[in-house]
Amino acid sequence: MKLSLKFVQRFLLFTAPLVTGSVFVALPGLAATHATSGSAVNLSNFSHNPVETSTFTDTNTLTITSIDSINSNSSALVPPAAAVTANADALATFPVNPSPALTEAFNVSLSAAQGDSQGESHSYLGLGQSFSQVVGYNFSIGANETFSFDVNAALGLQTSTEYVGETARAGGNISFLLFDTTGMTDPSKIDWNNPLEFITFSAQLDSSGQNYYTLGKSANLNFQPTNVAINASAGENQQSFFGSLQGTISRGFNKLTSLALVAFQGNQVSVSCKAP
């Protein structure tokens, strides 16, 4: 299975602002302390169609800077030397085609933060969080049939620090969950904490060196990868990670079964500096 051109185009469209830096508001004298986290997921070539679909996205940002001093001759506050920005964006679509093989779901989640302490005497905090989710309800799988779909997923992280005392963290998670909903008529009754099967892919970069990535799945879920690529690098004050998954996820059933499929991802970043 080849990485679809449509998926590549969509991923590049939404990750370009991170790569080029245009996601940030211009900051005077901006230094290189930043954290970015982005992920994209494309699901396609379904063996069965869902009866219903839903999508959900959420984003949050927070920025705080210190007030460095108060002009003794005026009540006006002097603008802080520290500067910080945070951005987050998310997209989710799951249109259903009459032909299951042509049904596609697409998720994107992006978070970025950047700061400049202008040295060691000013503090700031920047946080960005993004979440994207698609759900397919009531996939009806007959006895002795196999439910399957193709997945293309990518996760990218980057951190960089400029001054002593500054920190940058980036994390991301991509998950696919299957739930047995046989006999259920109300989706709100689904126990979202008890999936039938799952695959998870997560990674973290931390300027302190606490870095990791994990890829795991439940025992009865079959994942046939056509490509799994992991690239990580670290230099002086800079780190990057990029991982991609391509393959087919499948699970056989010996009796009539109704399924719900959840695909979600979350991306988090933070940059900070504490004044001495």
Would the pLDDT of 1 be above 50? Answer: no
Burial (CB < 10 A; 0-12, 13-18, 19+), residue 190, is middle
Contact 67, 77 (CB under 8 A): yes
What is the predicted pLDDT for the residue at 32?
62
What 3-state class would DSSP assign to 262?
strand
End-to-end alpha carbon distance in the chain: 54
What is the rounded CA–CA span in Å between residue 267 and residue 172? 4
Query: What does the DSSP 8-state code read for residue 247?
Result: E
pTM of the model: 0.83
Task: Pick the range with the lowest mean pLDDT from 5-9, 97-101, 168-172, 216-220.
Answer: 5-9
In sequence order, the 6+-apart residues with CB closer than 8 A to the CB of 26 are none
Average pLDDT score over residue span 129-133: 96
Task: Pick the range with the lowest mean pLDDT from 32-36, 47-51, 106-110, 194-198.
Answer: 32-36
What is the rounded CA–CA span in Å between residue 261 and residue 48? 11
Name the nearest CA neighbour of 174 among 190, 158, 151, 191.
151
What is the rounded CA–CA span in Å between residue 264 and residue 249? 15
Specify the number of domains making up the chain.
Answer: 1
HSE, CB side, 13 Å, CA atoms: give it for residue 4.
Answer: 19
Q: State the pLDDT confidence band at 122, using cuts at 50, 70 and 90.
A: confident
Rg (CA), the chain: 22
Average pLDDT score over residue span 195-222: 90
What is the rounded CA–CA span in Å between residue 99 and residue 30? 51
pLDDT tens-digit map of 250-264: 999 999 999 999 999
What is the rounded CA–CA span in Å between residue 249 and residue 144? 17
What is the predicted pLDDT for the residue at 271?
93
Domain that holds residue 59: 5-273
Average pLDDT score over residue span 155-176: 91
Backbone angles phi, psi at 8, to 5 degrees: -60, -45
